Amino acid sequence: MTAVTQQGRGGRSALLRSLNGRRHNLALTVFMLIVVAHWAEHAVQAFQIWALDRPRPLSRGVLGQWFPWLVSSEALHYGYAIVMLIGLFLLRAGFTGRTRRWWTIALVIQLWHHIEHLLLLIQAQAGTYFFGGTVPTSVAQVFFPRVELHLFYNTVVTIPMVVAVILHKWPNAVERQEAMCTCAVAPRVPAVAGAGR
């Protein structure tokens, strides 16, 4: 193995150590802000459909109102799915114990969600639609409408992520001991009777 290859691998492992060590809290915060922003788009779209009774093609979320092509861009949707998958994978090593189990559940579900978006992207790029569809159609979309399906996927990925983050911020004693990062909220120090007198 050449020195350059070893240096490249060392650089990647140093980045991973940093992302899951001293920079885990920052990386996790940025990642969760991306998740919240994506959820905001879906929430606005759902509000437009079910509260404002807008036709689905005109219910485009926030950014889609100014940039309508965003809603129909399979590349953009796939881009978000891959960012989620990469983020879940890269930040996984920073979780321990119960938190890693919950984070891994989110990762596995997102892997399937990513495959669904990959199928949609392939169809959009090829101009050939699967399952007899007239538009790009995912496996589960054969059975469920697209908006509801993606709300479901985002929900079942987000729930274990949130559980993992909450448990990660307030770990049990073993998880706190094993943690490589400083994400945990400081434990409360019991007040000493008579202190401050």
185: in domain: no
Q: What is the pLDDT of residues 111-168, one digit of tens each?
A: 999 999 999 999 999 999 998 889 999 999 999 998 899 899 999 999 999 999 999 9
- According to DSSP, residue 186 is labeled P
In a domain, 28, yes or no: yes
Distance from C-alpha of 165 to C-alpha of 162, rounded to nearest angstrom: 5
On whether residue 94 sits in a domain, the answer given is yes
User: Is residue 44 situated within a structural domain?
Assistant: yes
Residue 44 CB partners (closer than 8 Å, separation 6+): 61, 62
Query: Tokens for 22?
Result: 């001293």
- Give the confidence band of 69 by pLDDT, cuts at 50, 70, 90: confident
Q: What contacts 175, CB < 8 A, 6 or more positions away?
A: 96, 97, 98, 99, 167, 168
For residue 47, give the nearest of 181, 139, 147 by alpha carbon: 147
Residue 2 pLDDT level (bands cut at 50, 70, 90): very low
Quick: pLDDT tens for 74-108. 888 898 999 999 999 999 999 999 999 999 999 99
Q: Note down the domain range covering 49.
A: 14-178
**In the structure, what pLDDT confidence band is assigned to residue 13 with cuts at 50, 70 and 90?**
confident
- Judge if pTM exceeds 0.85: no
Burial 43-82 (b: 16+ CB within 10 A, else e): ebbeebbeeeeeeeeebbbeebeeeeebbeebebbbebbe
Query: What is the count of structural domains for the chain?
Result: 1
